[in-house]
Every structure is written in C-alpha cells, then in structure tokens.
Amino acid sequence: MLLGVDVGGTFTDAVLVGAEGAVHTAKVPSTPKGQAAGVMSAVAAVLERAGAEPEAVERFAHGMTVATNALLEGRTARTALLATEGFTDVIELGRQARPHLYRLCEAAPPPLVPQELRFAAPERIGPEGTLRELTRERAESLCADVASAAPQAVAVALLHSYRDPGHERLLGELISELLPGAALSLSSELVGTFREYERTATTALDAALSPPLDAYLRMLLAQAAGAGLAEPQVMQSSGGLTEASRAGSHAALTVLSGPAGGVAGALLLAELAGEPDVACFDMGGTSCDVCLIESGRVPETAERVIAGRPVALPALDIHTVGAGGGSIAWRDSGGALRVGPASAGADPGPACYGRGGRLPTVTDANLLLGRLLADAPLAGELRLDTGAAASAVGRLASELGLETLACAEGIVRVAEAEMLGALRVMTVERGIDPRSFALMPFGGAGPLHAAALAESLGISKVLCPRASGVLSALGLAASAPRRDSARTVMMSGEELAGASLERQREQLLAEAGAALRATPVRSRVRHELRYRGQSFELPVDEDRDGAHTGTAGGPLSADQLRASFDAAHEARYGYRDEDAAIELVNVRASAWGETPSLEPRASAAGGATREQGQIVFAGERVGASVIRGEPQPGERLDGPALCALPEATLLVPPGWSGEVDAHGTIALHRGPRP
C-alpha cells in the first residue's frame, strides 16, 4: 500500500492506495504547534478506514510546510556566512528592484545572516581559474573565528565556486570538524550555477532553515518508526521525493513541498482523463496555488522568490495567492471589501468552526449561501455553526452598509477575483489562451469556485477529481524519487558543436544518477540559452532514458538547440533573431526513480443520495439538487446542484452539467450536454 500525507495550513490530509487502486482518505485538523502530531493522527485515521496495519504500508511520502512556515515566521537558525573577501554584503545589497513598485518606503526582507556573522574568506576565484589561493593556514584561522561565534548553521558561498569548488570544500571540511552539530550548506553543491546574489541568498536560506526542518523530521521519523511505519520520504519543490535525512540537511529543496504534491496528483488525474492541457488550482484553507499542465507536462523554473527571497533551485512553476477558505474578509481604509491574505488558519479557524473565531472568512460566506451543508461535518467531525457565520459576516456587512447575504456573495466574488488574477498570470499574461484548457480544482474549497472561474476565463470544461479535497496527498503517493545536478558552462559558437558539451551533459547525468542511489528510469537534460547580450535564459529540454543513452535521435545538436531556442523565444516574447549569436549558460540534469503504478478507481461502496435544497445565486435563493456521497461512474449531475464529496464540495451552477468517469472524476461542461 502507498501512503501520502500532506500538511496544509488548516487540515492535514492522508491517502492510502491499495494494490487494486482502492483509495482510502482521511482529513484531520492541522496542528501548527507540532505538525508531527497532525501527521500521525491522519495516518491513524486512514489506516483505520482502510482496515490496514502500519506494516502494510510499502512507502510513506510526505509533503509539509515546516520550512516555509519557519521562513515566514522568522524561526530560522543562527546562521553564519562565509563569502569571498569584499562580497560578504552581497545578500544585503541584492538586486536593484523594489519589493513593490509604488511603495517607495517598503524595504526588502532583512538578510537571514546579520552583519556580525558574515566572515570574509581571503581568496578569489575567477571565471577562468584561481586568482588568490586560500591556504589551509588561513582557512583554519577563518573557521576558528566562525566557530567562536557559535552559529547553529553555516553557509559557504564563494565567488565563482561553480567553476572551482575547491575552496568551498576546504572550508566545509574544516567547519564540519570544528562545528560537528551545525548545519552546513555549500553553494557549489546546492546550487551549482552563477549569479552570486541568488546563489548566496539560496545557500544562506538553506542553512538557516535546515535546523528547524531537521528537528521536525527527526521527531516524525521516531514516531513513524514507533508506529511500525516505513521511513517517510519528503516531497521536494521540484516534484520528486527525497530521503528525510537529505531534506533535513537541505531545507531549501522543500519550500514548495506541499503544493508540489498537488501538482503530481493533478498530473496523474489529467492523464487518466485524457486531458493533456489543464489549468489547475489548489484552494485550501490558507492559500490558492495555480499551475499549468501543458502537453502532459508541468513547467519548471529555477528562479523562484519565496517571502521576498530568491531560491535558485529547481521547482515546479506554481503561482500562489492568499485566497483560501480561511481567508479573512475585511473593510479597507477606503471602504472597499477585501479578502486575505490573512487567514484564520486551523486555530481558531473560520467563525463557523465554533472554535472562538469571530472574523468572517470565505468558508463562512459559502455556508451562508447554501454552498456548504451545515449538517455535513468536516474533518475530525467538525460541525459548522451557521449562527456564528451569520454573526461574523453580519458585522462586516454593517460596516459596509450591505445586507448579510449580499456581503457573503461579495466575499466570494472578491476571493474569486484573487484566484482569477493568479490564473491569468499563468495563462493570459504569458500569451497562453486558457480557452483550450480544462480547469481542474482541488483542495477542500477549490470545487466550490471552479465553474465561476472557468466562465470568467472562457473555459468550458471542469474536471473535479473524486479525491479533490486530498489530491496533494494522492499526488505524494504517486510520485517518484528525483535528483538534480546543475552547472554554469557559458558556451557559444563552435563549443556548442564540440565534444565538450556532451561531456558536460554526461557528467551531470552521472552525478544526478549517483545521487539517486538507484538506476534511473528516466532522465532529462535542460539547456538554458539566451541571445548574446540578454540577461536571462529560456530552457530547451532533452529527454533521455534511464541509461543516459539519449533520445531516439541522439543528444540534441547545436542546430537543434538553436532551432528549439528560437521557437521558444518567439513563443514567449513574440519574435526571434536568427542572426544573433546564442549562448548556452547553464546545463541541468535530472534523474527519476521508478514511479509507482497507480490508477485510482471510483469507490464501489455505497453511492450518493439526492435531496432538494436551496443555493443563493445573484442574490436569489434557487432550488437545487443536493448530492451527498460519491456519485458512481456514469452518473450525471445537472446544475444547479451541490455535490458533497467526502473531503470537498462541488458547486454546479445553472447551465452546467457533468458525468462521472471510471476513476471517480466528475467532468463538468458548460452549456448543453455534449
């Protein structure tokens, strides 16, 4: 059996998949003060529902928010930085870009390493080789000074170490001897590419976040072992799994751990539904994550910004906004209705949870509009309090001079506008026409808003997975191990046609394969190219098999790289320059282990019951079908309707209809039945 557990801001989700594709799910409230407790509670709940013993779990995959929360809340380790003499302040100088264009007084977040913990290394490596040698004697003296400062973590980021990591390795060796209990991060091993600010900032972030993440994972490992479970593997931001020990040593790899699981689940269900192009949005209790699946693939990036800090590591291309079910609605100084980014979280949660929350949220608004069922308990048998929701929304309505239901509809519309903006960022603003895509909602709150967002984007098809409320956990169970290796090469002209490029590719593939600790079943080489004189690159990918023998046509030639880059540049920017010289800046290699064979099927137990209810649309209460439970394959839904799935609720507005497929996915269509 395959187990996936995802920790969100409000709920912790667990999915257990049996050998025959049977999917068992559980959702429990998250425990922000100790996420391991919520994880083990979710595991116990899903094992009980499946009637399974812990020993039956073959693999335990875990996605969490520990590193992200530590960064957002400032709970980082006391970190020292070793940088080339004259470059210790690069993490404070950063780039000439303001956090917000029109907020002139708003500063960037402060560096994770204070000035007194930045140490200058008497060395200098240039792009072509060593300019100033770092002697062992000077290195020992420097490391002794670092040790006397008693840091919990140490980051080493020397100039041009991507070309020659010798000095970094020497300092790392000495620091390990003097501070054996401290976390250590070397930029040449972690990032491996140029741009000293991004490389240094990423290395400092990695070192600062590793101690709190390592402490959490050690606790979880001990509890899992005590319960007889397999050792957890951790989801990386890249969408691949890694060992808990490696994640604890390099926390920067996991800052998008949770959202990456949702993307993996969406990719699995989109493939089973036969949809190669899907716009996905994951709306949980705290935030909404948006990504695209294009031609059966999820775009990736190595240039992320998390909480105002760059992370120069491979990550799935996910855009996040603060619009979740627990997002708080409020009146701004100009009298406008706003929603988020602040969230009621898991404790106390929305007012309707009855846990002491008094502020109105999106969940409270949906309950008042009849889009959530007051008599259908949420995770952990949490029953919704309509009176508390009415009081919370009513207070805001009075401030705004609105009726309570009008205010509730306004809250929903404003939240949907935030999510629509995120979907437009990933599609329209990149020159992608969303009308040719299907829309896949997931997260506990996503299916409530899917049809409205689809209509705004001109999308006519919505795919709602049966396990949409726990799709991130399902994606974790369906994911494969992954390792990455990268290097800045700066090649152009005849170098691209020579043997040196293939040597670089093979070396990086070998490094990624060796780190995987298993025979890769799939590999990829990513070439990041630009026209000479440009500052940023576009990727050109080359898929290879696990043995690194290349594609059917062999490794990409210089002419193929050129043609692919020209096409990618025209698609992104609207033009190509076939007379300009191109530069190959970075080469990245990725290796994947075996992906579990997983084909979830619709539940054969029970079925759905139907009754009549009322839902508010455009200020009017409209009679609607209320479907409780899981509709069976072939069953049809006609709007207006509300489908209360085990972990999520799907709203089918008037003018929409759908049918359930063999995997339990509900495919909705706008307009007449297809």
Instruction: Please tell me the predicted confidence (pLDDT) of residue 547.
Output: 44
- What average pLDDT does the chain have? 91
- Three-state secondary structure along 89-121? CHHHHCCCCCCCCCCCCCCCCCCCCCHHHEEEE
Q: Are 261 and 480 in contact (CB under 8 A)?
A: no
Which residues touch 534 (CB under 8 Å, ≥6 apart)?
Answer: none
Tokens of 540: 């050109």
Instruction: Please tell me the predicted confidence (pLDDT) of residue 300.
Output: 93
Q: What is the DSSP string of 175-213?
A: HHHH-TTSEEEEHHHHT-SS-HHHHHHHHHHHHHHHHHH
In the chain, the N- to C-terminal Cα span, in Å, equals 38
- Three-state secondary structure along 303-320? CEEECCEEECCCEECCEE
Domains contained in the chain, CATH given: 78-215 (no CATH), 482-592 (3.30.1490)
Q: What is the dihedral of CA 371, 601, 436, 278, to 10 degrees?
A: 80
Beta pairing partners, 30: none
Instruction: Please tell me the predicted confidence (pLDDT) of residue 381.
Output: 66
Q: Which residues of the chain have pLDDT under 70?
A: 346, 378-381, 546-554, 602-606, 672-674
- The per-residue pLDDT for range 601-655, each reduced to its tens digit, is 766 666 778 899 999 998 899 999 999 888 888 889 998 999 988 888 999 999 9
Instruction: Please tell me the predicted confidence (pLDDT) of residue 606.
Output: 60
How many Cβ atoms from other residues are within 10 Å of residue 503's Cβ?
A: 10
Record the pTM.
Answer: 0.89
To which H or E segment does residue 392 belong?
helix 386-400
Instruction: Please tell me the predicted confidence (pLDDT) of residue 550.
Output: 40
- The per-residue pLDDT for range 398-442, each reduced to its tens digit, is 999 999 999 999 999 999 999 999 999 999 988 889 999 999 999
3-state secondary structure of 403: coil
Instruction: Please tell me the predicted confidence (pLDDT) of residue 552.
Output: 41
3-state secondary structure of 425: helix
Tokens of 49: 């529902």
Give me the phi and psi of 482, to 5 degrees please. -150, 145
Q: What is the dihedral of CA 88, 91, 95, 98, to 10 degrees?
A: -140
